[in-house]
Structure 1
Amino acid sequence: MENTLRPVLVGKVSELPEKLGKTVTIGMKEIAVFKLESGKIRAIENRCPHKGGVLAEGIVSGDYVFCPMHDWKISVVDGNVQEPDIGCVETYPVEIKEDQVFILIED
């Protein structure tokens, strides 16, 4: 059976703070949602692969978030940790309809 993506409403674009993260819990998943300077919305797993730092509390710069615990630089576009560190976090597709932000979650 094929997995399907289900849109889950997480809020309004206008209510998301720019360059700051917002923690959203969907089922057992904790997701960090970011509104970038460019206006794009990105969603990634909310735990750093290093020591589990809460990424929604990290500093956002461009397309990256810096883990608040040990400053690991993680792409909010593809979830990859930047060198010299290694690892990755899960990313989630985001859909915007009017002013509503939806994260697409596999069923």
Structure 2
Amino acid sequence: MTPFVDIGSLDDIPRQGARVVKTAGGCVAVFRTAEDDVFALEDRCPHKGGPLSEGIVHGTSVTCPLHNWVFDMNSGRAQGADEGRVRTYPVKVQGGRILLDASLIRRNAAA
């Protein structure tokens, strides 16, 4: 079972917005959809390094702000691109709180 750590309230992220969590492994973008689903992705587009946290959230996808690559937040795959994928991370909501895979935070604390 994956241990999780509380990173804040669901209300801290606007609908169709994101929040960045800094870890030793890099920045993680935590997204909230219009339906209050939450996803956690690597915050760096593999195409030109654009910050996905500044992208446009639509449905369960996010569009990179630099060159409009669209990523499925469930799988991390770029849609319509030959190559392109970002890491996804375990995240969930319980009692209005966002919980992120604790191993990401522990690596940060150990760094």
Aligned to 2:109: none
User: 2:79 & 2:22 partners in 1: Cα distance?
Assistant: 26
| Change beyond 3 A, Cα 1:86–1:105 | farther
Code of the aligned partner of 1:98: G
Instruction: Indicate the structure with greater helix content.
Output: 2
Segments of 4+ in structure 1 off by > 2 A?
Answer: 26-29
Query: What's the secondary structure of 2:11's corresponding residue?
Result: helix
Indicate the residue corresponding to 1:20 in structure 2. 17
The alignment's TM-score, normalised by the length of structure 2, stands at 0.84
Deviation track 1:11-47 (CA, whole Å, cap 9, x = no partner) reads 1012211101211112332100111012111110000
Q: Any idea what SS the aligned residue of 2:8 has? A: strand
Which residue of structure 1 lines up, in the alignment, with residue 44 of structure 2? Answer: 47
Q: Secondary structure at the match of 1:5?
A: coil
Q: Alpha carbons of 1:85 and 1:57: their partners in 2 closer, same or farther (altered >3 Å)?
A: farther
- What is the match of residue 29 of structure 2? 32
Distance in 2 between the 1:20 and 1:82 partners? 20
* Deviation at residue 49 of structure 1 after TM alignment: 0.6
The equivalent residue for 1:70 is 67
Aligned positions, number: 104
- The alignment yields a C-alpha RMSD, in angstroms, of 1.6
More displaced stretch, 68-77 vs 85-94:
85-94
**CA displacement at 1:6 relative to structure 2:** 3.4
Tell me the CA shift for residue 100 of structure 1. 1.3
Structure 2 portions without partners, runs of 5+: 107-111
Q: Is the 1:18–1:37 contact (alpha carbons within 8 Å) kept by the matching residues of 2?
A: yes
So what's the TM-score if we normalise by structure 1? 0.87
